[in-house]
Structure 1
């Protein structure tokens, strides 16, 4: 009973915070400067990672680019150098913990302390549980979430010492709502969102107010990883649109970014609506893409 009375006492604070949030919708947020910041981006050899590197290059950040694909990495680096940025590249397998730790040591020795970490590297396999091979499931978790632990453990201590830094988690709308035939991917992205939220709270508990966190959760993006995606929520997102939203979120220190914004509303509905209605709603949303179905073969 005391707990519920304590909750009632918080109602005035709830009303005040709600009004404050509403007013802030009409006030442009101040964007911080990242000039001279050392920015490390994983998965920088293509897609979202590459375009994010371009944007930081335009803002005169010092770039540390990681990818397993040397050719793609070099292409990204060449463009960033052309934009006037200082660039350091490292071929890193983000599914390998020791490779991450060893590369992190090289970064600290050769470049300095990373102040903005963008955990972007990811893999996806479009198949049902039975058609997804065991090594594919393991790699999905190694890259999509475990790598976030290793990179953060490597670079966060310096940020905490300086009380200055930013950890960016590139997750997915699939980290909030599930999609059939993306079982391993959805599970790993739920874990990535959980990592972001738990890390945010842990930093607050440790009173490390200068280290910020941001999580990006987009719908399907036109990067070629998922073949022929479609949904009634709207057209497949273009990478440039997603990166614009990501950069704005980082520079204004936004904690959670949904692209499109309607995804945030759907995640709320999924928690409060009856299951039977949700089944009908998901039929209307009608998420589709090419996938391998192995159930009948196994049966």
Structure 2
């Protein structure tokens, strides 16, 4: 991996030097017409072919030789919404792997229960009661943690809230709360810890998303809007970090979950419930941690869900809703035609 990074940097530096040489020597001599752009097109095409070949080679190699699981011992992991559900299981399992876990939750009783459970197993864990939708609280606590504990090396932004109801039945304050918890809270947490990761050139940001961030769902409009926004947030951060050489070692992971038996989601009612109903929070946490240790950019639970939804979203609108109604047999859309 180190040698491959050196090769990529060498090619990039060569391309930059060629562009500078072209601006100084080629353009004044040949002018700014089509002839002057020919060398640049040739170089860009060569770089494109090299990147395509190397990407395909690496992908094929990883299919034959799965990546080794990274060691999380000694990492300092912050988990929001750690008092119950997936957050609780993530905290317990990460502590078992040797990570120092910091639990954030607004429910002090549940949060303290998780901290005590981890400490009984000789794990290192700290708990803080906080409302992650309050930007001032997040920034203040993050600053205090850096002074009193240590720098956080991994952030798992997990806090979520769901209300199922038609949009005409929702109060404005309810809509605002869903947006704050499922989108704005991720902004505040990432903003609080990303600068220190950039300074140290090391870190990992994980956002727990949902299948509602991949496709529309009736009676969940504010939740879907927030989750689509979270998807855009993580994709944009990934691109911003990729384009900055200084932040190459800061990783990002987006997690897309189907129904998990945490009490947050309504029970599944699709046609294939006998094949896939819902999984426990413990199983979901295990799959997430495995993906994090493999440094996956995207984790889908179940694995094929995101791929199937992406294929579905490529279809024309009428075909999309026909297949959606077939999959969700039993809801009111099955008796409608486009």
Output the TM-score relative to the length of structure 2: 0.79
Tell me which residue corresponds to 1:76. Answer: 114
Larger CA deviation: 17-26 vs 144-153:
17-26
Structure 1's unaligned 5+ residue stretches are: 290-299
| 1:226 corresponds to 2:265 | yes
Matching of residues 3-18 of structure 1 within 5 Å: 10=48, 13-14=51-52, 17-18=55-56
More helix, by proportion: 2
Corresponding residue of 1:148:
186
d(CA) in 2 for partners of 1:287, 1:224: 23
CA RMSD of aligned residues (A): 2.2
Q: CA deviation at 1:194?
A: 0.9
Does structure 1 retain, via aligned residues, the 8 Å contact 2:256–2:306?
A: no
Which residue number corresponds to residue 296 of structure 1? none
Partners of 2:259 and 2:267 within 8 A in 1: no
Distance in structure 2 (CA, Å) of the matches to 1:288 and 1:25: 39
Instruction: From the superposition, tell whether residues 196 and 288 of structure 1 become closer, same or farther in structure 2 (CA, over 3 Å).
Output: farther
CA contact (8 A) 1:60 1:84 kept: no
| Matched position secondary structure for 2:252 | strand
Alpha-carbon contact 1:172-1:219 (below 8 Å) kept: yes
Deviation at 1:227, TM superposition (A): 2.9
Distance change (3 Å), C-alpha of 1:15 and 1:173 = farther
2:139 corresponds to? 101
The match for 1:239 is 281
Shift of 1:64: 1.0
* Counterparts of 1:152 and 1:68, CA distance in 2: 18
Tell me, which stretches of 5 or more residues in structure 2 are unaligned?
1-36, 332-338
CA distance in 2, matches of 1:159, 1:82: 30
8 Å Cα contact 1:65-1:73 kept in structure 2: yes
Q: Which has the larger radius of gyration?
A: 2
The offset of 1:288, in angstroms, is 7.4
Deviation at 1:12, TM superposition (A): 7.0
| Maintained 8 Å contact 1:175/1:190 | yes
**After the TM superposition, which residues 50-89 of structure 1 pair with which residues of structure 2 at under 5 Å, given as runs?**
50-89=88-127
> Is the 8 Å Cα contact of residues 38 and 114 (structure 1) preserved in structure 2?
yes
Q: CA deviation at 1:216?
A: 0.5
| Cα distance in structure 2, aligned partners of 1:148 and 1:179 | 22
| More displaced stretch, 234-243 vs 192-201 | 234-243
Inter-CA distance 284–23: structure 2 relative to 1 (3 Å threshold): farther
Partner of 2:149: 111
- The residue aligned with 2:304 is 262
Q: CA deviation at 1:265?
A: 2.1
Inter-partner Cα distance in structure 1 for 2:92 and 2:69:
18
Moved more, 48-57 or 130-139: 130-139
Larger RCO (CA under 8 A, 6+ residues apart): 1
Work out whether 1:209 is the aligned partner of 2:248: yes
- TM-score if structure 1 supplies the norm length? 0.89
Question: Would you say the 8 A contact 1:40–1:64 is kept in 2?
Answer: yes
Alignment of 1:104-143 (within 5 A): 104-143=142-181
Aligned residue pair count: 287
1:273 aligns with 2:315: yes
